Amino acid sequence: MREDNDRQGLVLAHHGQTSLVESDSGDIIRCATRKNLPRTVCGDQVRWQATNPREGIITSVLERRTTLVRPDDRNTRNTRDHVIAANIDQVVVVIASKPSFEHGMLDRYLAAAELISAAPVIVLNKADMLDPESRARLELRLAVYREIGYPLLFTSALSKHSLVDLHQQLKGHTSILVGQSGVGKSSLAQILLPEATIRTGSLSQVTGLGRHTTTVAMLYHLPDGGNLIDSPGVRDFTLGEVEAPKLATGFREFAPYIGHCRFHNCRHLSEPGCAVQDAVRAGAISQQRLENYQALVGSLSSSSFR
C-alpha cells in the first residue's frame, strides 16, 4: 500500500524489532516495521514514514530481486528459514587455513549462490599464514574451482596490497561476505571500508574457532561504488529444501551433461546411463564435486524430491 508521504530507503541492518534504514538523502533512521509486514533484512529496499527526525516506521518492503536464505536447523523446533540478506548479486565465500574449511560447506555456499543467480567468488584469506608448501597444497586443492570458472583470490588482512583483486571484484556490485566464524570477513571489510568501524575478534584458544563476533549482517557502501555486506559467521551452512534437478544446477560444471542422462529424472546418484557420472569417469567433472552433490541429495529429506 503506497502512501503519499512515504519515502524510499535501504535497510542497512536489522536487529530485534528495529531496522537501520538509510533514507534517500543519506540519513540513518531507526525504523520499526508495521505489523503484518515480513521481517526486513539487510539490503531490503523499503518505503517508510518519519515519526520524528531520527525515527520512522517501515510501511512496505519492495520486492526482493534475490534472497540468500539459511534454513534453520531441522532438529530444532524453530523451522522458519532465515533470510540473511536481500538484493545481492555476488556471494563472496571466505575460507581460511585457520579455522580450516571443508569442501562440502564451500560447495553448499557455491550452490546456494548459483541457485539465486548471484555470482560466487572464493576468497582464501590469511594467506600470510601459509608457507610456500602449504600454499601450493591449497592451490592444488582449490584448482578445481578455478577450472570451472570461479574467481579464486588469495588475500591477507595484514596486507592491503593483497586485496587489490578483491577490491576490483567488488566494485559496482552488492556483495555479501559469508563463511565460518573467524575466517576474517570483518577484517577484510574493515580494510575495504576504511571509514567504517567494524568489530573483529580473535579465535578461541581452546577450540581454534571464531567467537561469532559479528552478530548481525550490515551493509556498507564501498568508496568506489557498490555495497558490501559483512555477515555473521556460521558453524555450518546447509541448503533449504531443493529438488534434485534444481540442486544439480547449483553445480555449474554439470550443466553441459544435464538432459543427456538415460532417465529424464536422473538424480546422478547411481542410475545407469548417467551423463554426469560418465563425465566424472572421463575426468571432465571432479569426483569430489559429484560426491559433495550426492551427499547433499542424501541429506535433504526424501519428501523434497519429486
Ligand X SMILES: Nc1nc2c(ncn2[C@@H]2O[C@H](COP(=O)(O)OP(=O)(O)OP(=O)(O)O)[C@@H](O)[C@H]2O)c(=O)[nH]1
Helix axes 103-115, 287-299, angle to 10 degrees: 70
Site for ligand X in 51-90 (CB under 6 A): none
In 3D space, the residue among 95, 129, 224 whose CA is nearest the CA of residue 169 turns out to be 224
Among 186, 227, 277, 292, binds Mg ion (CB under 5 A): 186
C-alpha cell at 101: 574449511
Contact flags string 195-224 toward Mg ion, x per CB under 5 A? ------------------xx----------
Among 13, 95, 276, 296, binds Zn ion (CB under 5 A): 276
Residue 274 contact partner, candidates ligand X, Mg ion, Zn ion, none, CB within 5 to 8 A by sort of partner: Zn ion
Residue 210 contact partner, candidates Zn ion, Mg ion, ligand X, none, CB within 5 to 8 A by sort of partner: ligand X
**Comparison of 192 and 247: residue with beta carbon closer to Mg ion:** 192
- Alpha-carbon distance of 261 to 280, in angstroms, equals 13
Q: How many CA atoms lie within 13 A of 10 on its CB side?
A: 18
C-alpha cell at 173: 556490485
Rounded to a whole number of angstroms, the distance between the first and last alpha carbons of the chain is 37
Residue 268 contact partner, candidates Mg ion, Zn ion, ligand X, none, CB within 5 to 8 A by sort of partner: Zn ion
Give me the residue label for grid cell 569442501: 103
Q: Find the shortest distance in angstroms from Cβ 154 to ligand X.
A: 10
Burial class (CB in 10 A: 0-12, 13-18, 19+), 3: exposed
- Alpha-carbon distance of 108 to 238, in angstroms, equals 7
**Comparison of 126 and 268: residue with beta carbon closer to Zn ion:** 268
Site for ligand X in 206-235 (CB under 6 A): 210-214, 232-233
- Residue 85: other Cβ atoms inside 10 A: 27
Sign of CA pseudo-dihedral 151, 152, 157, 160: negative
**Comparison of 54 and 211: residue with beta carbon closer to Mg ion:** 211
Site for Zn ion in 216-275 (CB under 5 A): 261, 266, 268, 274
Contact flags string 165-204 toward ligand X, x per CB under 6 A? ----------------xxxxxxx------------xxxx-
**Comparison of 208 and 273: residue with beta carbon closer to ligand X:** 208
Q: Find the shortest distance in angstroms from Cβ 39 to ligand X.
A: 21
Contact flags string 128-157 toward ligand X, x per CB under 6 A? xx--------------------------xx
Give the binding-site size for ligand X (rule: CB under 6 A).
25
Judged by CB under 5 A, does residue 111 bind Zn ion? no
- Alpha-carbon distance of 304 to 151, in angstroms, equals 32
Task: Detail the DSSP E strand segments found in 179-284.
Answer: 218-221, 227-230
> Would you say 47 and 60 are in contact if contact means Cβ atoms under 8 Å apart?
yes
Residues lying near ligand X in the complex (CB under 6 A) are found at 125-126, 128-129, 156-158, 181-187, 200-203, 210-214, 232-233
Residues lying near Mg ion in the complex (CB under 5 A) are found at 185-186, 213-214
